[in-house]
Structures are given as C-alpha cells and as structure tokens.
Structure 1
C-alpha cells in the first residue's frame, strides 16, 4: 500500500527544560503488505498527525564535542552533549526526550544537551534506514547518521511496537534485525553508543495477533525475547547497545499489582494508567516511567534523590514509577543481556 511521505520531528535542546505533554494522536503502527501467510497484521497509523520539521541549529554548532561512551551494555555517564532519537510516536508522544532532560536535570546533572528526533508516525527501522541511505535523499536522518554526522554520544533506536515480538523467519522480524544492525553501525561510526529502546506490550495484548500476543504478559515475554535477539545481533556486529528497558519498567508495575492481589487492568490501576485510551501509546505516566528508566540506566546513581515529575503526575505515582524504573534497570545484571 502506498504511504504518505513521513514527516520528521526535530527537537533541539541547548539547556535542560521541563517536559510538556503532547496531544498528537498518531498511531505507532503501520499496515503490513497482504498476500503472505508469514506476514502478521500490523495496525494502520494516522500518519497525518505526525509533527512537522522545526527550524533548528545544526548539532555541530550547538554543543562541544565529547568522547564516545564505552563499549558496554550499561554505562555511568556523567556528561552528555548530543543524543539522537530515531523512532515513531512511541518516542514523540508527550515529548519523551524533554521529560528525560528534566529528569536528568533533577538528578543534578547540569549540562547543555542537543537532543534531536527523527520520528514519524508508524515508522519502522527499515524505513528509517532507507531514508538514511537513499542517494540524494533529503530526510534529516541521512545527514545526521550518514553524510555529515556530528559526534553523537547516544543514538536511541525505537522500532515499531509489534515487530520485535514476531518470530524469527517472519519477514518483518528478519528485516527489522538487519535494519537495527545497520542503524547501530552508523551510530557507532559517528562515535555514539547505540541505545536499544525496548518498548512495552499493549495493555490487553494485540487482538490483531491474538495467537501470538494473547494478553499483556504473553506479548511482553515475546517482546523481551525479540529484544534479546536484536541486542545480541547488534553486539555481534561490533558495539554492544545500552538497553533502555522501558518494557521491563511496565512489567514491574504490572507485577506489583498482581503481587498485591489487584487487577492491573482496572481503570484506576497504575499499570492501566501508563497507557492512553488506545491501550498502546504511553500516557504522561508511561513516558515518565520510560524517562526514569533511561535516566537510571545512564546515570551512576540512578534516580536516587530525584524528585521531579511532570505537573500532571502525583508524587505518589511518581515515587512508584521511579521505584519501578530502578527495578527495571536492576534486570540488566540479572537478565539475558549480551556481554
């Protein structure tokens, strides 16, 4: 099916500021081509509601160079100057990068950061890779990753939300792994450490793929397995990724409700409120949890002592989400992360 030309988001930050909630209703997902039993159904995006390009200074003029982070799956980074986010609406909803910058400031890390986003509704890694490598292409990601990349510190890679859970041998899955390795390679060539943004399962599973993703726990298990394979493939190519385990953060909240004999899917439950009404995209709570997971992953002291939260997030919820983020990051040393 023909898809409209993606529009990219550029978010530039030269000083850390607070996050602002976004009301963009674009879907994360895209329609699969028909005609093959190996192609699993994907949701259709509202591509018309993605954000337009904003005028911004080039990364080279906005902040000084910094050395690349170490080759490792975990880091304790005290200074970041440039970060690029490559993904779709799971990234640009609620201005995740801005929330993360505010969390980082609350950690006591005063710094000037250039944060750029190459995001479009429903976009997949294969599409980002095509934009980055097409000769004569005009998409910003081509300049940022291929033709004139600055010295990034981190490049965050976020895939369409169903594909990592598809089985090996599925064409969408296999193409995704290849694209992840290629994008991570371009990131590493620019001096960056790739960050694998591991997204969450849908709140009630995926009705379009009920045999594969019957409910939240089943879908999250499959996503976790898929991200393990992607991380291993990237590591085997030469540079192990930092793993942004947002899905693990959601899982910690889900498991806490179950352990307390509560229904995590009840409308007022914290887990349920991590999502917007569609049960897929993050609410401000979900984006805050994701930002805390990333902050705890990149900073030596995690979120200890950090008390900032978006204006619409209560202190009770914020504290629970920070604890969940710390629990998710603890999985780095006890799970199947490639070394």
Structure 2
C-alpha cells in the first residue's frame, strides 16, 4: 500500500508539473507572418503533451481589408473564385467547419504602424467571426518590426508617418494593436513584443555587419547575421531557367529563430503553458539560443498579464 501511495504521489506530481493536456482548435486569418509564427506551433504542442488542430487561411501580404473583401465577394457570389481560399471554401465555410476555440486576425506588416488602415475592416472581420463562429475567442496577432538594416530603414521614405527606424515601427505597431485590442476587448498574441525584446537585448540582439558591402559581394559571401530573427541577406536561385543567382535582402520575414520565437509566444497564449523547458528544438537551432527564445517569449506573454 505504501508503494502504491508513493507511485500515486509521484504520478500526481508529474501530472501537476506537466499541466493538463489540451486540444486547441485554431483558425488563423492572416498572411506569411501568421504562417511564420505558427510554423513550429504544432511541434511545441506535441512536445508539451497537447494537440493542435490548425486551419491556416494565408494570403501573401494580406491586410484586414483583403480578407474582409474576399469574404464579401463570397457572400455576393459563392461561385466566384475570388471569394475562395486555396481550400476551395470561403471564409464563412471555414469559420463553420469546426467548433474553433480561437480565431486570429492581424494587419499586414507594412501597414501595422498605421491604425487608420485597420478600420473598418478589422471590425467587419470581428463581427463576421462572431456571427459564424460564436463560440470562438477572437485573438489579435501582433506582428513584428522589420530588421534594423531592412531597406525600409536604411533608405527611409519621405512619406509622412512612415517609420524610419526599427524602434519607430515597433512603437507604432504596438500602439495600433493595443488600441484595436482595447476596442474589441480582445487578447493580443504579443509576437511583436517578443521580437522587440530579443532585438534590443544588449547581450543577444542581432548587430548589423558593417563590413559587408552588398554592391561588391560575390556568391556565396554573406554578412555575419548571428542572432537575426529575420531571413536577411541571402543568395537566390533564378525562378526559371539557368540564370545567375542574385543577392537579396528580406528583413521582413522570420527565419528559423524568429519562427521559433513566434511559435513559443503562440504556444503559451493558446495552451496556457510556458514554453520554457519545452523539449522541441528545431534541427540546427543552438540549444542556448532556443532557451533564450523560450524565456523571451515567456517574458512577452507574462508582461501582458500584469
């Protein structure tokens, strides 16, 4: 009996430490940024003992307006292909496909700093989600700042209101998403906060390699991009034919580190389970960096709860 009691006690402790296993049904209405941020989400969920059922609705570069107008086209004519996603269903059918626990929306990153671009489309989507998935909780995915050496900042626009630095972009998008969340009484998935914490960490943040000159670089030369959360500089193969590779800069999209950081944020928000100590680490990611990113994601989520 004593042995049985001891085993039962140990099992209780392990169960309490691991937390309750959950199944989350998630529909994301977004673009490449939502795809980036959820890339490793299923792997983290599995390693944490949870189950994720995820239906992504992805349109490259899509804003609130693009998704709202697609749904409106489908309402006007269900046979119009312009109103359908790659699944062959409209937004209405996707919302009614499952009893989703969560539905997420987000603004296009290039417009994220400008709240004037959010409405009336964000409110239209909120109302549409409420109508066709009334049981789902609406979450607002806060997207992230571009890399500090992105052309948006190295060759800033003269357009009024356009952010000229990484900090300006973050401050703008942070304020805009906060305002929307307050209007909707909705919770934020603070991916942008986590990126900013990592991008400004004095001991970890990516630093621009000022010795690299893209104008004279030859394949396979690349700058030191240690701790970049973004794709950054890379050599691109021609899309067709046998032309030469070309050097390109993508300071927008997340690389493996950024995708892992984003997924850790989403994991804690959706499952209520800290990513710190999660055993899933993508192949090629340094365990020390993974630990930093887990801690950073946890900090960002917990800061929103205070």
Question: Structure 1's 98 and 275: CA in aligned 2 closer, same or farther, altered over 3 A?
Answer: closer
Q: Deviations over 1:188-221 (max 9, x none)?
A: 3311111211111111262454663111111101
TM-score, normalising length: structure 1: 0.64
In structure 1, what is the equivalent of residue 111 of structure 2?
163
Quick one: distance in 2 between partners of 1:212 and 1:77?
45
Number of residue pairs the alignment of both structures matches: 240
Question: Structure 1's 264 and 142: CA in aligned 2 closer, same or farther, altered over 3 A?
Answer: same
More strand by share: 2
Q: Deviations over 1:33-65 (max 9, x none)?
A: xxxxxxxxxxxxxxxxxxxxxxxxxxxxxxxxx
Question: Structure 1's 213 and 316: CA in aligned 2 closer, same or farther, altered over 3 A?
Answer: same
Question: Which among 188, 198, 203 is matched to residue 253 of structure 1?
Answer: 198
Question: Structure 1's 302 and 142: CA in aligned 2 closer, same or farther, altered over 3 A?
Answer: same
* Unaligned runs of at least 5 residues, structure 2: 1-18, 210-223, 234-249
Quick one: distance in 2 between partners of 1:217 and 1:130?
32
SS at match of 2:279: coil
Q: Describe how 1:15-34 pairs up with structure 2 within 5 A.
A: none
Q: Deviations over 1:256-304 (max 9, x none)?
A: 13xx39763343341x244443111111111110000011222333113
Q: CA RMSD in A?
A: 2.5
TM-score, normalising length: structure 2: 0.71
Quick one: distance in 1 between partners of 2:98 and 2:72?
17
In structure 1, what is the equivalent of residue 22 of structure 2?
79
Q: Which runs of 4+ in 1 moved over 6 A?
A: none
In structure 1, what is the equivalent of residue 123 of structure 2?
181
* Unaligned runs of at least 5 residues, structure 1: 1-75, 335-339
Cα contact 1:132–1:145 (8 A) shared by 2: no
Q: Describe how 1:88-167 pairs up with structure 2 within 5 A.
A: 88-93=31-36, 96-109=37-50, 111=51, 113-134=52-73, 135-137=76-78, 138=81, 139=84, 140-144=89-93, 148-166=96-114
Matched, 1:281 2:222: no
Shift of 1:78: 5.3
In structure 2, what is the equivalent of residue 223 of structure 1?
173
